[in-house]
Every structure is written in C-alpha cells, then in structure tokens.
C-alpha cells in the first residue's frame, strides 16, 4: 500500500493533519494563470466517494446517473463510505415488531448486494482494471456483529466480508465503525462517521484534528478550522447520501438529507482537491469533464 493509500487507527498521529494548506491561503502568492508545481508535473489520482447507499433502498434516479458517470471516467479508486447495506431485517429496532420485516430475509439482502457489487466493480474498473476499491464498515453493516453477539451459534455464517466475497473482488474492507479504522488518501481521511449531532462537522474535525470526510448523517455539512500554531487549515465534511429519502421507519418526518457524492483529486505530495457533487432531479454536472449525467 502506498504512502497515500493506507488505513490508520483513529487518532493516529500518522494521519498528518491538514498539511494541504501549505498550498497557502496567502492571497497573491499564486498568481492567476501561473501553473503550480503539482499541476505542471505530478499527476493526481482520481477517486470517487459514495456515501450511504443503503441497499436495497438505494435511490435509482440518483444511482443510475452516478453509475453512468462511473463507467465514463478512468478512476484510480472508489470508496464506499459505509452503510452500503441497510440490513433492516436484523435491526434491533425491529426485534419486537416482526411485521416491519415481513417478507425480508438476510439471504435476500446478501444476494441483492452481491449482484449490485458485481455491477459496481465492473463499472468502476471499466476504464482502469487496476482501480482500487475500498468499503468502509458503517453502523448498518455492524448490525451483523450485533446480531452475532446475541446469536453466537451463527458465527461463521453471516460475516459480511465473506458473504460479499470482498477479498475475491479485490475490495479492501475497512472496519471503520467497529474498530475506528481510518482510510487515508494523502492529507484526506475517510471514516463512516461517528456522530449525528446538529453541528457534526465541527465535532468531527475537532475529534480527528485532521481533514475528515464521512457519511452517516446523510446531509452535506462542512466546518473548517485554522490551526494558528501550525499555520494550516483543516476541515470536516459530510458528503450526503445516495439512498431513498423516505424509508419506512422515517414515517414522513422532515429531514436534512441531501443526494451527493465526492470526487477527489489527490496529488503524490498529499495535497488534495475535493468536489461534493449534488444530484438534483436525477441530474448533475461532473466536475472532471463538465458532462451532464
Ligand atoms: Fe446511513
Ligand atoms: Fe450510518
């Protein structure tokens, strides 16, 4: 694994908080039209980040154009940011309410996700067979571990990494929710997300002390902090979601969810540029090629 692609434990100093700002916010240093050293020399890697899909509750009007975009670019990597699966069928919230999971089975969820991953891997690697794929464990994936905690005799039959054949697919499984593992690209860190507080971006960037990008909250929120002693600026940002806005358990309540995903350029020196792409009415303009999908 290269210097810019690795997993680290949460809070490990090696996450190298926010050096990216050595690009400087110092107005006037970089003149308009003057190419930077990185732009004229080293080539950045291109990554796409997909937050909270919640299969089988993905939103087709959002996922379909996104998959078309995925197929049309030469990606270096893709990150599934957690909660790829909903796993309503084993949610502890439904324990005493069997009607809420009527007709649902764990097997059906696994089959559906495997089929989805077949298409996703093919699409993500269409123009770059060596594209790296990463899957962060979210709290919904963690439902399996909770279920096994209560039903230890099923151990060995439900574990997601095996059931979804992640190793065979060449997908890195990052235990974000249960073990606090962090996936890092240059100076950008990725986790599923730890909190749903109102001002979660501020809490996340303070907790991590580094640039941190996450899902979990299903909204898009950003908070930046300038660290005077180090002369750097770091930020925390949630990247939205790609699931239906009206899951049954929501019962039509108001929310602040937003359909969006992330596109990251990451240079070999760790500097990164990030675009959060909002999808409205099933449509977005891609930041990499200006095409409307
Ligand atoms: Fe989620
Ligand atoms: Fe989550």
The pLDDT tens digits of the residues spanning 224-263 come to 999 999 899 999 999 999 999 987 777 788 899 999 999 9
Q: How far apart are CA 257 and CA 105, in angstroms?
A: 27
Rounded to the nearest whole angstrom, what is the distance from the C-alpha of residue 35 to the centroid of ligand 2? 40
Rounded to the nearest whole angstrom, what is the distance from the C-alpha of residue 59 to the centroid of ligand 1? 13
Rounded to the nearest whole angstrom, what is the distance from the C-alpha of residue 191 to the centroid of ligand 2? 10
The pLDDT tens digits of the residues spanning 154-175 come to 999 999 999 999 999 999 999 9
Rounded to the nearest whole angstrom, what is the distance from the C-alpha of residue 21 to the centroid of ligand 1? 30
234 in a structural domain: yes
Q: Which ligand is nearest to the CA of 136?
A: 2
Q: Which ligand is nearest to the CA of 143?
A: 2
109 in a structural domain: yes
168 in a structural domain: yes
The dihedral built from the CA positions of residue 272, 278, 282 and 288, taken in this order, carries a sign that is negative
- The pLDDT assigned to 46 comes to 98
Q: How high is the mean pLDDT of the chain?
A: 88
Rounded to the nearest whole angstrom, what is the distance from the C-alpha of residue 218 to the centroid of ligand 1? 6
Rounded to the nearest whole angstrom, what is the distance from the C-alpha of residue 54 to the centroid of ligand 1? 7
Q: What is the pTM of this model?
A: 0.87
34 in a structural domain: no
198 in a structural domain: yes
Structure tokens at 129: 């067979």
- The pLDDT assigned to 54 comes to 97
Confidence of residue 16 (pLDDT cuts 50, 70, 90): very low
Q: What is the CATH number of the domain that holds 192?
A: 3.60.21
Rounded to the nearest whole angstrom, what is the distance from the C-alpha of residue 94 to the centroid of ligand 2? 17
Rounded to the nearest whole angstrom, what is the distance from the C-alpha of residue 33 to the centroid of ligand 2? 42
19 in a structural domain: no
Structure tokens at 163: 């059931």
CA-nearest of 141, 170, 176 to 78 is 170
98 in a structural domain: yes
Q: Which ligand is nearest to the CA of 255?
A: 1
Rounded to the nearest whole angstrom, what is the distance from the C-alpha of residue 146 to the centroid of ligand 2? 15
- The pLDDT assigned to 216 comes to 98
- The pLDDT assigned to 39 comes to 52
pLDDT of residue 2 exceeding 50, the answer is no
Q: Which residues, 6 or more positions from 226, have their beta carbon under 8 angstroms from its beta carbon?
A: 232, 233
Q: Domain range holding 117?
A: 40-278
pLDDT of residue 77 exceeding 60, the answer is yes
Rounded to the nearest whole angstrom, what is the distance from the C-alpha of residue 163 to the centroid of ligand 1? 20
The pLDDT tens digits of the residues spanning 22-41 come to 444 333 333 444 555 555 55
Between 202 and 37, the higher pLDDT residue: 202
| Residues 30 and 24: beta-carbon distance below 8 Å | yes
Structure tokens at 53: 């899909």
Total domains, the chain: 1
293 in a structural domain: no
Q: Which residues, 6 or more positions from 127, have their beta carbon under 8 angstroms from its beta carbon?
A: 71, 72, 73, 74, 75
């Amino acid at each position: 694994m290269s210097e810019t692609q690795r997993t680290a434990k949460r809070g490990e100093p090696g996450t190298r908080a926010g050096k990216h700002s050595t690009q400087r916010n110092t107005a006037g240093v970089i003149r308009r039209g003057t190419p930077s050293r990185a732009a004229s020399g080293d080539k950045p890697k291109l990554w796409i980040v997909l937050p909270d899909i919640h299969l089988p509750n993905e939103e087709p009007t959002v996922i379909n154009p996104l998959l078309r975009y995925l197929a049309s670019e030469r990606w270096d990597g893709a990150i599934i940011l957690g909660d790829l699966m909903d796993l309503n069928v084993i949610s502890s919230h439904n324990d005493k309410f069997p009607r809420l999971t009527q007709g649902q089975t764990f097997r059906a969820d696994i089959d559906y996700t495997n089929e989805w991953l077949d298409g996703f891997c093919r699409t993500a690697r269409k123009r770059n067979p060596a594209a790296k794929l990463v899957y962060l464990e979210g709290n919904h994936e963690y439902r399996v571990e909770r279920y096994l905690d209560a039903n230890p005799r099923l151990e060995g039959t439900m574990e997601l990494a095996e059931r979804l054949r992640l190793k065979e697919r060449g997908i890195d499984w990052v235990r974000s929710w249960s073990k606090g593992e962090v996936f890092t690209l240059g100076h950008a860190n990725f986790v599923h997300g730890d909190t749903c507080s109102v001002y979660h971006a501020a809490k996340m960037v303070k907790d991590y002390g580094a640039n941190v990008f996450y899902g979990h909250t299903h909204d898009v929120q950003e908070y930046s902090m300038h660290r005077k002693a180090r002369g750097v600026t770091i930020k925390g940002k949630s990247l939205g979601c790609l699931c239906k806005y009206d899951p049954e358990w929501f019962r039509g309540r108001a929310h602040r969810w937003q359909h969006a995903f992330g596109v990251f350029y990451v240079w070999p020196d760790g500097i990164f540029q990030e675009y959060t792409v909002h999808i409205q009415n099933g449509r977005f303009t891609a930041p990499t090629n200006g095409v409307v999908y």
